[in-house]
Amino acid sequence: MELNPENLKPREMYQWMVQTILPRPIAWVSTVNAAGATNLAPFSFFAGVCARPPTLMFGPANDRFGQPKDTLRNVKATGEFVVNLVSESLGELMNATSATLPYGESEFERFGIASTPSVVVRPPRVAASPVAFECRLDRIIRFGEGPIAGNAVFGTIVRMHVRDEILNAEGQVDVRSFAPLARLGGDLYASLGELIRLSRPE
């Protein structure tokens, strides 16, 4: 099978991409608006970029009316965000926060999600997240126009938090304790299966 994106509707191409680019980690992004109201939403178009300077990115698409999502509005207004990572046990709460709430209404409050203050940036972190990255906005790159057109938000990591419970005796991350939840297509998610070790060639 061969697909030419030029012959597909954007929504169809989106479906092909989310069913094939996987498993995807989930950035559960907390932000505040100019008035200080908190917001929390998941994004699985998410990746690390580089370590020098420590940089990550996530991709909030425009909504179906072509408008920026609350997260993007807040990042533009404040220049700050926190990426909280999602363990299996947080999956249901994370999913709940993907609901569209009126701008300024907090998913932390609506869904009873405990937060904890960040050290450097104003948006709080999700208290129960195993890992969180406090970020300062580096740049936003816009792709396309209108509904579901994209935005890539790059942030510089200014603090990283790792829960002690997911560290092993050597101080390294124990992936079984972390139990990261992976995003697949549709309503599907996955947990870590069998671990495979491949040594890098010299």
Report, in this order, helix, strand and coil percent for the chain, each rounded to 5: 20, 35, 45
How many CA within 13 A on the CB side of residue 58?
28
Smaller CB separation from ligand FMN, 48 or 53: 48
Q: Tell me the number of residues near ligand FMN by CB under 6 A.
A: 17
Binding region for ligand FMN (CB under 6 A) out of 9-17, 34-42, 108-116, 191-199: 34-42
What is the identity of the amino acid at 29?
V
183 binds ligand FMN (CB under 6 A): yes
* C-beta of 10 vs 59, nearer to ligand FMN: 59
- Footprint of ligand FMN on 43-72 (CB under 6 A): 43-45, 59-61, 69-71
Under rule CB under 6 A, residue 180 binds ligand FMN: no
Distance CA 109, CA 5 (A): 40
d(CA 62, CA 55): 22
Please report, for residues 17, 155, 170, 185, the alpha-carbon distance to residue 21 in angstroms, rounded to integers and kept in the order given: 6, 22, 33, 9
> CA quadruple 66, 71, 72, 74: dihedral positive or negative?
positive
Least distance between ligand FMN and beta carbon 64 (Å): 9
- Segment contacting ligand FMN by CB under 6 A, of 36-44, 119-127, 133-141, 169-177: 36-44
CB of 155 to ligand FMN, least distance (A): 15
Nearest to 115 by CA among 92, 88, 84, 153: 84
Q: CB–CB of 9/16 below 8 Å?
A: no
Amino acid residing at 196:
I
Q: Which residues ranging from 78 to 117 are in contact with ligand FMN (CB under 6 A)? A: 95, 98, 100
How far is it, in rounded angstroms, from Cα 40 to Cα 115?
10
Q: How far is CA 105 from the centre of its chain?
A: 19
CB of 173 to ligand FMN, least distance (A): 21
The nearer residue to ligand FMN, 118 or 151, going by C-beta atoms, is 151
Residue 90 or 157 with smaller CB distance to ligand FMN: 90
Shortest distance (Å) from residue 71 CB to ligand FMN: 3
Find the shortest distance in angstroms from Cβ 147 to ligand FMN: 11
Site residues (vs ligand FMN, CB under 6 A): 26, 39, 41-45, 59-61, 69-71, 95, 98, 100, 183
